[in-house]
Amino acid sequence: MPRLFAPLLALSLLLLASGAQASYITRTLNKPVPGGVAVVDLGPSAQTPSARFDGKPVLVVKEQDNWLAIVGIPLTQKPGTTSLSQGGRTLPFTVGHKKYPEQHITLKNKRQVNPNPADLKRIDRELAEQVKAYRSFSPNLPSNLVLDKPVNGPLSSKFGVRRFFNGEERNPHAGLDFAVPAGTPIKTPANGKVILVGDYFFNGRTVFVDHGQGFISMFCHMSKIDVQVGQQLRRGDVVGRVGSTGRATGPHMHWNVSLNDARVDPAIFIGAFQR
């Protein structure tokens, strides 16, 4: 090997090694597709920077000497170049393509496909409560970004699936479903504060846990709720029990994860994401 290239190769390998060490969060969480997560490098700063995407504040964490924005990308986001705003700067990043499969479900209760006028009033009221919870942004940092599974069991329905109820298309599946028996304890995957509990038309018995800076878990279709609003939880605490309340065909655990009011694939945070 020529003398000129040997030290350059050694330097390149050193930079690659240090870069890999410094980019654990990026390597783990950066899945920039609709319904995914973009990790955007904000660079070094003596003070904690703030950043926004689509006008909403995003989670910012420090990794070694750099600050990183952990951005939730909505399922409705078009692939291509978009940007994050931070301290007067515009930081572009690219959203890739991802094709989600279809799921066809038959429901005996026709009102859960085409609700009547009274149901629609209830649904609108409940939706407003849940949207407000999803838009919560507390200042504390999450205890962990790599999350525990709320239950141990196989996945029965993936995130982002286009769903057809009795042949009619409805909203895509906004979480992960785990096939576990009724009564199975559901554990919070990180520290957090309970910000909403309810018994909703579609979701059944539901709990929202705020992990910090717009990083939120939602559990629904529960048979029993074991927490109350305002309660502080430690990672692994039980929030309730698996059930089949609301629009469900049988017992299972449904888990949503939200970042900056965008529902994203929980599989990213448990090392189970698939392209």
CB distance 47 to 67 below 8 Å = no
- pLDDT tens string 161-190: 775 655 555 567 789 999 999 999 999 999
Residue-range domain boundaries for the chain: 23-95, 102-270
The reported pLDDT for the residue numbered 161 is 79
The reported pLDDT for the residue numbered 171 is 67
Domain 23-95's class? mainly beta
The reported pLDDT for the residue numbered 249 is 83
Q: What CATH number labels 102-270? A: 2.70.70.10
Percent above pLDDT 90 for the chain: 73
The reported pLDDT for the residue numbered 10 is 37
Record the pTM. 0.86
Edge-to-edge order in the sheet of strand 37-43: 37-43, 66-72, 59-63
Instruction: Kindly tell me if the per-residue pLDDT of 212 is higher than 80.
Output: yes
The reported pLDDT for the residue numbered 115 is 77
**Quick one: pLDDT band at residue 8, thresholds 50, 70, 90?**
very low
User: Which tokens belong to 273?
Assistant: 């994401």
Q: What is the mean pLDDT of residues 124-146?
A: 96
Pick 104 or 63 by higher pLDDT.
63
CATH topology of 23-95 equal to that of 102-270? no
The reported pLDDT for the residue numbered 15 is 35
